């Protein structure tokens, strides 16, 4: 009898002949998440088992496993033999001392000599005899003892299903570039795309010295908080101070943010293409701020050829905040450090600027030279 963590997946089951590819990706990501902890990872049909680990670190292992996309649910349980005596010993070890309970059995091994109902009845009777304060309640029990009889002469016994992160394993849907600010939205956008299997690299724009080192460290912290979900290992930064100064000096004030975002998209696309990334990801939500109108998004899209994914486009702010709290980024995101979009912010930014007007104003700038200068400021931080 051995303590194990039982990992189940759901959506991967739908992948037909490609299922093994997704299973391997999930196993790779589980190994990455458990790096530094003693463990063994074993495949069991439709399951992965974490075994041979330090039981004192069970909670830490569960926390890490619970953040791996592709994991539907997981349980701390016991791996034992499939004989009734072995299963009973394991059930006795996990069963409560008192209260109501029932036994629920699943047989992956259909040639097992007892049916699922017979296993449950047999174990229930033995547990009642061993624990005098237990009572059976098959409708609304306080506790459930789960038994999973496997094909290889083994059985899994446990009491709880813990919810996993869901989604698809990171790396199974290609690679993209997340434009990450220090705000609430972009970390959530990166989380949501990683949940669909996208590997995201991170690019942050700063306006030092108008924004300080604290703003940069805030983004580094956000990147580290995202890392258990996204598997990201590095963050790149680029300065747009010179671009903002040129826009502020030369162009119509109401277009400061709109023109800056067009430069950000140009720089992001060039950065992405150099790294063979296939899309850009932003935290934009339709109508949330002046630059996130249809006209504003159209203006940004007009300067790039890569697809731009906006997973939060239909979310309201409360929904985004709720998700940020759930994944642990909210408290860092609301720290009072300014990002580059608040520098030279006009009193009345354009809400629905015409593309022709934007392009006319942009002609006042040496766009290629400004982009080239920005690319020379790229720095990469190892997370």
Summarised one tens digit per residue, pLDDT across range 111-141 is 999 999 999 999 999 999 999 999 999 999 9
Query: Averaged over 249-271, what is the pLDDT?
Result: 95
d(CA 140, CA 137): 6
Q: Percent of the chain having pLDDT more than 70?
A: 97
Domain boundaries, the chain: 2-163, 175-382
Is residue 338 scored above 70 in pLDDT?
no
Nearest to 303 by CA among 236, 363, 359, 351: 359
Residue 196: DSSP 8-state: B
* CATH, domain 175-382, list 3.90.1300.10, 3.40.50.620, 3.40.1160.10, 3.40.1010.10: 3.40.50.620
Predicted local distance difference test score (pLDDT) of residue 328: 97
Alpha helices, DSSP H, located in the chain: 19-33, 58-65, 84-94, 116-130, 185-195, 213-230, 241-250, 256-274, 294-301, 317-327, 330-333, 355-362, 367-375
Summarised one tens digit per residue, pLDDT across range 278-298 is 999 999 999 888 778 999 999
Exposure string over 352-371, b if 16+ CB within 10 A, otherwise e: ebeeeebeebbeebebeebb
pLDDT range class, residue 344, cuts 50, 70, 90: low
Strands 199-206 and 175-179: parallel
d(CA 358, CA 85): 77
Predicted local distance difference test score (pLDDT) of residue 339: 66
Query: Averaged over 54-82, what is the pLDDT?
Result: 97
Query: Averaged over 147-155, what is the pLDDT?
Result: 93
Asked whether the beta carbons of 188 and 322 are under 8 A apart, the reply is no
d(CA 82, CA 106): 12
Predicted local distance difference test score (pLDDT) of residue 179: 98
d(CA 314, CA 287): 9
CATH class of the domain at 2-163 = alpha beta
The token pair at 94 is 């996990």
d(CA 42, CA 108): 17
Is residue 5 scored above 90 in pLDDT?
yes
How far, in Å, are 95, 245, 251, 331 from residue 241 at the CA level?
62, 6, 15, 27
d(CA 66, CA 62): 6
Predicted local distance difference test score (pLDDT) of residue 342: 63
d(CA 238, CA 40): 41
pTM flag (> 0.95): no
């Amino acid at each position: 009898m051995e303590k194990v963590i039982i990992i189940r997946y759901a959506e991967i089951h739908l992948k037909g002949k490609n299922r093994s590819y997704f299973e391997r990706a999930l196993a790779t990501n589980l190994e990455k998440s458990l790096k530094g902890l003693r463990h063994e990872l074993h495949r069991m049909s439709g399951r992965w088992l974490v075994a041979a680990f330090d039981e004192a670190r069970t909670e830490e292992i569960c926390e890490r496993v619970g953040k791996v996309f592709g994991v539907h649910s997981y349980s701390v349980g016991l791996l034992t033999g499939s004989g009734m005596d072995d299963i009973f010993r394991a059930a006795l070890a996990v069963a409560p001392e008192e209260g109501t309970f029932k036994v629920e059995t699943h047989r992956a091994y259909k040639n097992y000599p007892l049916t699922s109902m017979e296993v449950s009845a047999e174990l229930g009777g033995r547990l009642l005899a061993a624990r005098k304060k237990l009572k059976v309640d098959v409708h609304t029990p306080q506790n459930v003892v789960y038994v999973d009889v496997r094909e290889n002469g083994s059985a899994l016994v446990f009491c709880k299903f813990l919810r996993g992160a869901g989604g698809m394993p990171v790396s199974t849907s290609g690679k993209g570039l997340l434009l990450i600010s220090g705000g609430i939205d972009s970390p959530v956008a990166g989380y949501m795309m990683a949940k669909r299997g996208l590997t995201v690299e991170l690019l942050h724009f700063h306006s030092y010295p108008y924004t300080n080192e604290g703003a940069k460290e805030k983004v580094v912290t956000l990147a580290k908080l995202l890392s258990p979900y996204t598997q990201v290992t590095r963050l790149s930064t680029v300065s747009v101070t010179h671009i903002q100064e040129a826009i502020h000096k030369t162009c119509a004030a109401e277009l400061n943010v709109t023109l800056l975002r067009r430069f950000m998209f140009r720089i992001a696309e060039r950065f992405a293409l150099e790294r063979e990334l296939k899309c850009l990801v932003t935290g934009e939500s339709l109508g949330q701020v002046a630059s996130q109108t249809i006209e504003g998004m159209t203006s940004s899209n007009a300067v790039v050829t890569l697809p731009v994914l906006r997973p939060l486009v239909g979310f309201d702010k409360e929904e985004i905040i709720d998700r940020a709290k759930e994944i642990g980024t909210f408290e860092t995101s609301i720290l009072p450090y300014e990002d580059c979009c608040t520098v030279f912010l006009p009193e009345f930014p354009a809400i629905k600027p015409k593309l022709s007007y934007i392009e006319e104003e942009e002609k006042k700038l040496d766009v290629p030279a400004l982009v080239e200068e920005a690319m020379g400021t790229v720095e990469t931080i190892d997370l």
